[in-house]
Structure 1
């Protein structure tokens, strides 16, 4: 895991006079699961938003695949973002309730000018199958799916861009425990098959212990410690 995907140095994010992220630094390698762990309000999600440049940091530097993201224009960022994709906590909120699942998965391909009408539907079906959904689920609206199925559809949409890094912001915290392990196992398989790196935001220490390669603990916007749990637990499978 020597191929550094993400290099964050001295990240600071402020909301008015409140400092949400205060000098956070870390690196993340290709194929690595790096978890940000800590209580609610510790700055985990603000760090993730700054990494994605959805919230521009007030200070510090974010480099992805060696390229400095901080300071790029929105137009320049659009060329980078396909390789750096988010998966959010609320599976229903991340998909438009008016769009069928197949359209949601196809949207990144169309936005990036990569949609081929003759091959695109087969690509969408392939992506749905890859995340454990029957391609027929593409005809459904988000509210016709369970929470776990909807999160799988969100992962399929993220994969449509052929990313190298997924920023997973509490991706299983809203799911039932019986569904959670299945989604984590899917993410583990995708990491192994595609060589993806994950920035994994999670408040649940037990989940982090079983899923992450390295863990950064945060409190009050700062890094307080770093530790390495055992490899992903075979019991999750």
Structure 2
């Protein structure tokens, strides 16, 4: 049997005396969407931060592609980070208001040393087209785009370094219903095309039922149940 793409074992996150994540375990396969569902304050976002090692867990293991990450130094993590990318809730706040969209999408390539001045602009245009944006939008700044367009640009940015896992932290909760469906359909199409694994943080049960393959319920930092929707992975067309 092959290793899961992501394997979280007995994860613990504490903030002082408060235990936000209390021995949470789950596994995620490539090409699968696993949703973390639960009320506000149940530990969903703290789990996401710990999975990405943006907040070091206080206990447990995070295994990605068979490799345990929590014991690695930041220098050792650096080459792995492009393969685990976040898409955040606030489509405007996740992009710098000072940068044009094309620069925001190009930034991960430059940080990772993958930028080539000869073909880099074409790569950015390709990424924008892949998420349903006209490459001409690359000349605009975030305030000149709608919320849905900004979220698409954020997804293009996350795809720039060819990740295997996207951690989607409430990626559509700030969007209206019609725009939300378009972004979820885009994510479903990208998953089919690229075989991405999605860790999907969401508190909207209707969205979870349509979009997730499996659901892990959290309450007060603990897993209370795991279930499969009746129509897993269905896009909202």
Q: After TM superposition, give the deviation of residue 2 of structure 1 in Å.
A: 5.9
* TM-score under structure 2 length normalisation: 0.98
Verify: 1:96 aligned to 2:73, yes or no. no
Query: What is aligned with 1:66?
Result: 66
- 1:36 paired to 2:36: yes
Q: Please say if residues 214 and 232 of structure 2, whose CA atoms lie closer than 8 Å, have aligned partners that are also in contact.
A: no
Root-mean-square deviation over aligned CA pairs: 1.0
Distance 1:165 1:129 in 2: 21
Q: How many residue pairs end up in the alignment?
A: 236
Runs of 4+ aligned residues of structure 1 deviating over 2 Å after TM superposition are 231-234
Q: CA deviation at 1:178?
A: 1.2
1:151 matched to 2:120? The reply is no
Q: TM-score, normalised by structure 1?
A: 0.98
Instruction: After TM superposition, give the deviation of residue 4 of structure 1 in Å.
Output: 1.0
Report matched runs for 1:52-131 at 5 Å.
52-131=52-131
1:232 maps to 233
Q: Distance in 2 between matches of 1:219 and 1:207?
A: 19
What residue ranges of structure 2 are gaps of 5+ in the alignment?
Answer: none
1:158-173 superposed matches below 5 A: 158-173=158-173
Name the CA distance, whole Å, in 2 between partners of 1:102 and 1:69. Answer: 31
Q: Alignment partner of 2:93: what SS?
A: coil
SS in 2 for 1:224: strand
**Aligned mates of 1:56, 1:232 — CA distance in 2:** 31
**Which residue matches 2:8?**
8
SS of match in other structure, 1:79: coil
